[in-house]
Amino acid sequence: MIDQQPTTLVSLTDAAVLKLSELTKEETNPEVGLRVYVYSGGCSGFRYGMMLEDAPTPEDKILDVSGIKVYVDGKSVDLLSGSQIDYVDTLMGAGFTVNNPNAVSACGCGSSFRTADDTGSPKGCSH
């Protein structure tokens, strides 16, 4: 079931939609979508992960954001609720970023965070 109100969980900026459309324009599989997840690690306790996925799993929350399918696993839903995914392209590099209102602190590596209720398992900030 597709949730037509994506802003309650994850939203995408126009730049992120444009880049994801570009990355998937040659795809013939209509189920291809962006998987966004959180896993334990990083110097603050949690890290973000993103990848293109061929299909959702039965545990996924499935969102349709501006024609882009976004898959979020059940364990990541609460940690990502209200987050916005952006695509930035600067002299320092390009990539997707997560603006997460649940993060109360973040690490210098830019992909590690912790929430007020859960710190995860902090580890080194190696890339």
- Return the percentage of the chain with pLDDT > 90, whole number: 52
Stretch 56-64: mean pLDDT, rounded? Answer: 94
Tens digits of residue pLDDT in 72-114:
999 999 999 999 999 999 888 889 989 988 887 666 545 555 5
Answer yes or no: CATH 2.60.300.12 is held by domain 2-112.
Answer: yes
Is 119 in contact with 47 (CB distance < 8 Å)?
A: no
Describe the strand order of the beta sheet including 45-53 as a list of residue ranges: 2-3, 61-65, 68-72, 33-41, 45-53, 112-115, 103-106
